[in-house]
Amino acid sequence: MAAGGSDRGRANVPRSTATPVRKALTSLDHRVELAVGYTVDRLWSDHDRGLLDEQIESVAAAHRSLSSAEQSVTFYRVLLQRLASGEYPMDSALFDRIDRTVKQLQEAVRIRGARETELSDVLEPVEADAARTPAGHTDLKAHDIALLLAIGQGAKLREHLLTQRLSVVTASGTRIGQHDFARLETAGLVHRDTNHPLHAGQPVALTDAGRAALAARPSSRVTSRPAPRPGAWPDAATRTR
């Protein structure tokens, strides 16, 4: 009995602050990642480390609140499913518990809606700043160039059946994350064929701007010609001199 009581006591003790916080997927994840330019995982990590400016810090705090509210909705939704699954005896006590859980779920949904509004409000100025200062097409980073080159070989955008996360799989086997693809798409460098369903894969291709950006990138080739191999035939440029 003493052991059982001890177990019940431990169950009521709050979790240690050292326990990693679990993030729930939210309806605004895509907007957040597009606005800040990186994943919500990095956003939370930088928030914990105090690396964000005041504006982005408010986005991170609002996203954390929305994620917590989403977890509450999931908890009461799953609980309601269990109560109605036939696992428990059908009696007045069960009906009372179902009624109570429905009310708790309704309140959780109301709070989630309020948190979505709060996050949307703090996102709007960040999105406006991003729209005023679009990334230039001629100063692509090496990472973006590699992504565009991979997409140029053929690619499809797919949606994960369980997480609903989007990712691009290229013909060469490269996998491009949702936030990277969204950034390239917003910059007008790539486009997708929405006539195809996501579960089957939406073809992704470079736009004219994407091809022009690749063509305008600084050449990675050396300016001096390498010495010809012994016995090698002279190249065309040499023969025409």
What confidence score (pLDDT) does residue 184 get?
87
Bigger pLDDT: 231 vs 60: 60
User: Hey, which of 21-25, 26-30, 136-140, 221-225 has the most confident mean pLDDT?
Assistant: 26-30
Q: Identify the weakest region by mean pLDDT among 13-17, 179-183, 184-188.
A: 13-17
What confidence score (pLDDT) does residue 177 get?
85
Cα end-to-end distance, the chain, whole Å: 98
What confidence score (pLDDT) does residue 22 get?
60
Does residue 81 carry a pLDDT above 50?
A: yes
Bigger pLDDT: 122 vs 150: 122
Would you kindly state where each structural domain of the chain is located, as residue ranges?
A: 18-132, 142-216
Rounded Cα gap, residues 229 and 217, in angstroms: 30
H-helix segments, 17-141: 29-36, 40-48, 54-83, 92-132
Does residue 221 carry a pLDDT above 50?
A: no
Q: Identify the weakest region by mean pLDDT among 65-69, 115-119, 149-153.
A: 149-153
Chain centre distance of CA 97: 37
Amino acid identity for residue 117 in this structure: T
Task: For tokens 């999105």, name the residue.
Answer: 127
- Percent over 70 (pLDDT), the chain: 76
- What is the b/e burial string over 218-229, where b = at least 16 CB atoms within 10 angstroms of the residue's CB? eeeeeeeeeeee
pTM over 0.85: no
Bigger pLDDT: 146 vs 108: 108
What confidence score (pLDDT) does residue 156 get?
92
Bigger pLDDT: 223 vs 78: 78
Rounded Cα gap, residues 182 and 201, in angstroms: 16
Determine contact, residues 216/139, Cβ cutoff 8 Å.
no
Bigger pLDDT: 17 vs 51: 51
Task: State pLDDT tens for residues 86-116.
Answer: 999 999 999 999 999 999 999 999 999 999 9
Bigger pLDDT: 103 vs 176: 103
Residue 184: C-alpha distances to residues 114, 137, 152 (Å): 31, 10, 13
Rounded Cα gap, residues 32 and 120, in angstroms: 9
Mean pLDDT within 189-200: 86
Determine contact, residues 30/185, Cβ cutoff 8 Å.
no
Neighbours of 70 (CB within 10 A): 21
Bigger pLDDT: 113 vs 237: 113
Q: Identify the weakest region by mean pLDDT among 87-96, 135-144, 150-159.
A: 135-144
For residue 38, what is the DSSP state? S
Q: Domain 18-132 belongs to what topology? A: Helix Hairpins (1.10.287)
- With the C-alpha atoms ordered 57, 58, 63, 69, is the resulting torsion angle positive or negative? positive
User: Helix or strand or coil: residue 157?
Assistant: strand
Cα 142-143-146 angle, rounded to 5 deg: 85
What confidence score (pLDDT) does residue 167 get?
86
